[in-house]
Structure 1
Amino acid sequence: MLPDKNYLIKLAHTKMPYGKYKDRYLIDLPEYYVVWYNNKGFPKGKLGDMLKQVYELKLNGLEYLIRNIQKQYPK
């Protein structure tokens, strides 16, 4: 199932709310950090769902899709 357009726009503009990478766009988190979350377990809720999506995007080399959305739909 494909994520809807509004979800992808929200994902493109969501920033990490805490920790070492606070205020960094999720898509800009280092790959090792997202892999660490995948191994440790993602947080519950929307943030966890978005981090899972970022993991899949990075795993498949598709970060450019989210960066294109950031350019097309500036916040």
Structure 2
Amino acid sequence: MNPGDLEQLVSMPMPFGKHKGTLLADLPGNYLNWFAREGFPRGEIGRLLALMQEIDHNGLRDLLKPLRGKHF
């Protein structure tokens, strides 16, 4: 994980698919779990989606709350 990854989760919109335009941090758990089962995309977006899935799966979404204030 890079130091800026968590900030990217609260500022980067999903670039494709059913939830295009939704911030990565706001993607539903079932969508993230689908990627975990089917395979994450290659590159940075896949790495960030995998990180968000881990955060969601372990019930750690509250870790992102302090970062949200910086972007809204």
Q: TM-score, normalised by structure 2?
A: 0.88
Distance 1:63 1:3 in 2: 18
Taking every aligned residue pair, what percent have the same amino acid on both sides?
33
Structure-2 residue corresponding to 1:64:
62
1:38 aligned partner, one-letter code: A
1:14-62 CA distance string (max 9 Å, x none): 1100111010011111111100000000000000000000000001111
Aligned positions of 1:1-75 closer than 5 A: 3-4=2-3, 6-71=4-69, 73-74=70-71
Q: CA separation in 2, counterparts of 1:67 and 1:46? A: 22
Higher RCO (CA < 8 A, seq sep 6+)? 1
TM-score when scaled to structure 1? 0.85
Unaligned runs of 5+ in 1: none
Any idea what SS the aligned residue of 1:43 has?
Answer: coil
Q: What value does the CA root-mean-square deviation take over the aligned residues?
A: 1.4
Distance 2:45 2:14 in 1: 8
**Paired residues, number:** 72
